[in-house]
Amino acid sequence: MLSYIIRRTLMAIPLLFGISILSFGIIHMAPGDPTALMMDPNIKPEDMEAYKEKYGLNDPPHIQYLKWVGNMLQGDFGQSLIRQGTDVSYLIMERLPNTLFLMGVSTLLAVLISIPFGILSARKPYTLTDYSVTFTSFLGLATPNFWLGLVLIMFLSVQFGWFPTGGIATLNEPFSVWDRIHHLILPAFVLATADMAALTRYTRTSMLEVLKQDYIRTARAKGFREQKVVYKHGLRNGLIPVITIFGLMLPSFFAGTVIVEKIFNWPGIGLLFVDAAFQRDYPIIMAVTVITAVLTVIGNLLADILYAVFDPRIEY
315: helix, coil or strand?
Answer: coil
Comparing CB distances to another protein, the nearer of 38 and 66 is 38
Burial readout 257-289 (b: 16 or more C-beta within 10 A, e: otherwise)? bbbbbbbbebbbbbbbbbebbebbbbbbbbbbb
Asked if 203 and 246 count as a contact pair (C-beta separation under 8 A), the reply is no
Cα 269 from Cα 261, distance rounded (Å): 8
Comparing CB distances to another protein, the nearer of 126 and 160 is 160
Q: At closest approach, how far in Å is the CB of 48 from another protein?
A: 7
Q: At closest approach, how far in Å is the CB of 157 from another protein?
A: 6
Comparing CB distances to another protein, the nearer of 235 and 269 is 269
* Cβ atoms within 10 Å, residue 176: 11
Bridge partner list, 87: 79
Give 263's contacts (C-beta < 8 A, 6+ positions apart).
145, 146, 149, 150, 153, 166, 187, 190
Q: At closest approach, how far in Å is the CB of 36 from another protein?
A: 4
Q: At closest approach, how far in Å is the CB of 54 from another protein?
A: 5
Report the interface residues with another protein, using CB under 8 A: 30-33, 36-51, 54, 79-80, 82-86, 90-91, 94-95, 150, 153-154, 157-158, 161, 164-168, 171-172, 262-265, 267-268, 271-272, 274-275, 278-280
- From 196, 194, 202, 201, select the one nearest 260 (Cα to Cα): 194
Comparing CB distances to another protein, the nearer of 44 and 212 is 44
Comparing CB distances to another protein, the nearer of 3 and 159 is 159
Asked if 186 and 264 count as a contact pair (C-beta separation under 8 A), the reply is yes
Q: At closest approach, how far in Å is the CB of 86 from another protein?
A: 6
Q: At closest approach, how far in Å is the CB of 251 from another protein?
A: 22
Comparing CB distances to another protein, the nearer of 226 and 275 is 275
145: helix, coil or strand?
Answer: helix
